[in-house]
Amino acid sequence: MLANVATKNVLDRWKGILIGAGSIGLLLLMGMSVYRNVDLGLYTSMPAAMRSLVGIAEDTDVGGLAYGAIYASYGALTLAALSLSMGSASIAGEERNGTLGLLLGNPKSRTSILVSKATSMVGLTAVGTLVLLAFGLLSPALLNVELGDMHITALAFHMFVISIFHGFLAMAIGAWTGKNGLASGVTAGIMTISFIGVGLFPLIDALKEWARIFPWYYYSNSEPALNGVDWGGIAVLIAAMVVLAVAAVVGVNRRDLRGQTTGVSLIDRLRTHPITKKVADRLAGSARVSHIWIKTLTEHQGLIIVVAYIEFFIMGILIGPTYTFIDEFLLDFADALPEAMLALFGGGDLSTAEGFYQVETFGMMAPIAVMVVTIAIGARALAGEEANRTMGILLANPIKRSKIVYEKTVSMIVGGVIIGFATFAGVALGSVIGGLGMDMGNIAATCLLLTLLGLVFGSFALALSAATGKPRLSIFGSIGIAIVLFVINAFLPFSDSLAGLAKATPFYYYLTGDPLINGMQWGHGAILTGIFVGLIALSVVLFQRRDLRQTG
């Protein structure tokens, strides 16, 4: 038995950190390599203010753009997501898995366990940061790229601080509620809103100062890659972390902790109300396992609700009026950004409403949203049952392994469709409220392709889950592949010799046909559907052939 909780936590989670940070590091190396083949005139002709906006120093080689395009956005979001997953699981995860009683059965206080978890979270995030820093320093040397006065170490330090801030936020929520899904979902929602708000608010004069309410402001506003460490912003984040750490300690010591999962599902709540009882009873069915998909869906209800809200309200409704408030000069200014830069956010003509929505919503944030849900469901669909030691209960009933896979797939489809529909409803209302006149059929087509894209990566996570029985490997492996394929699809079209390889990525069949302008691309939809069906079939084969684990 391991001597302390921190060591065990590190051994449990170090692979995910290395996979996540290593994937981003390799993307930086590839990004620098591809950017060197882009016409330098795109960047040298940019005014000084615009070079500062996108993070390019005056004497920097074009490859240096990769830091702003990959590390400052994707790198920071990925590292923060890894940290918040550790923070949310610190107490709430142990309660969900029914292992907290085992920890507290040892001569350790609740506070000491929380401190051990926090120590491992900070340590693992530091390891991930060092991996990113190593790639950041070695990549330009290997590719002979001049970085000028760029402060890569300062950027990495800012990434580390904003990441552990989100880790402590998730830890505090989990310590007070005991709900892992709620802690991770709320924290991810706050991170997403913060990331978007810092990007949008400065474009509107009346909202510029309000950008300071977002944690992400204190990470990115000072442009650490160009100007070095902003100790004032870092101090704000550290002070907030101290408050969150104290809140977590108070919360975990005040609350009656659960020894196992005892949460009440949405279906159970509906069954207690006389108006919804009949419908809920029909949906819930009997206590037998004939409705596995309902049970699986309700297990992820918190995450689905949070993500759907963000897509509907933040990324849908609010974007429409925001576009009408932005000054025309700023739109022309943004539209002058090089195509290679905009490609990382989905591309699009920012002078049109469709292009603005493509960059702000559909390019990066909507795919992240739908994949968060589908990958979470797919990764835990089978491996989660094994980790929770409930697979034997399922298989003790007269039910085939293939049926379990199919029912889990249904829950993943429903989750993806909910996010896709929330995105459609939000964008449609945003267009109406903002008077943008966007075509509703084209919005629906884009959201359908978005849903199919999410299902592709969700089914990939399901296949990993079926093959390995390890939830973390399934989650981090799917996320890593998604990030790599996304950036490949964005970069390769700018290299004449490699452009054709972009067709090998699912992302090519999502926005390449400009569905917001041209409507549904049925051939692209058919390809995404085929990949999804093929991965589900593979999951069935892998699950049927593997000896299942009955211990965590």
- How many Cβ atoms from other residues are within 10 Å of residue 44's Cβ? 11
Radius of gyration of the chain (CA): 23
Which pLDDT does position 5 carry in this prediction? Answer: 66
Helices (H) and strands (E) in the chain, counts: 29, 0
Which pLDDT does position 182 carry in this prediction? Answer: 76
* Global pTM value: 0.66
**Of 144, 139, 148, 138, nearest to 60 (Cα)?**
148
Helix (H) or strand (E) holding 143: helix 110-143
- Phi/psi for 436 (5° steps) reads -85, -20
Domain boundaries, the chain: 1-263, 300-552
| Cα–Cα separations (whole angstroms), residue 348 to 90, 495, 512 | 41, 19, 10
Which pLDDT does position 371 carry in this prediction? Answer: 92
| Cα–Cα separations (whole angstroms), residue 249 to 90, 101, 172, 235, 495 | 12, 18, 8, 21, 52
Residue that the structure tokens 């059965």 belong to:
105
| Cα–Cα separations (whole angstroms), residue 86 to 6, 306, 392, 439 | 12, 19, 28, 42
Which pLDDT does position 344 carry in this prediction? Answer: 55
Which pLDDT does position 194 carry in this prediction? Answer: 86
Which pLDDT does position 483 carry in this prediction? Answer: 79
Sequential pLDDT tens for the chain (552 residues): 444 666 766 777 777 788 778 878 877 777 777 666 555 455 555 544 444 444 454 555 555 566 766 777 778 888 888 888 888 877 766 666 666 666 665 667 788 888 888 898 999 999 999 999 998 888 888 877 776 677 889 999 999 999 999 999 999 998 888 877 778 878 888 887 888 788 777 767 777 788 889 999 999 888 888 788 999 999 999 999 999 999 998 988 877 665 544 445 555 555 566 666 665 555 444 444 447 777 778 777 777 887 888 888 878 888 888 777 665 544 554 544 555 455 555 555 666 788 888 877 888 788 988 998 999 898 888 877 777 677 766 666 667 888 888 888 999 999 999 999 999 999 999 999 888 889 999 999 999 999 999 999 999 999 998 888 888 788 878 887 887 788 777 766 666 666 667 788 898 899 888 898 998 999 999 999 999 999 999 999 988 877 665 544
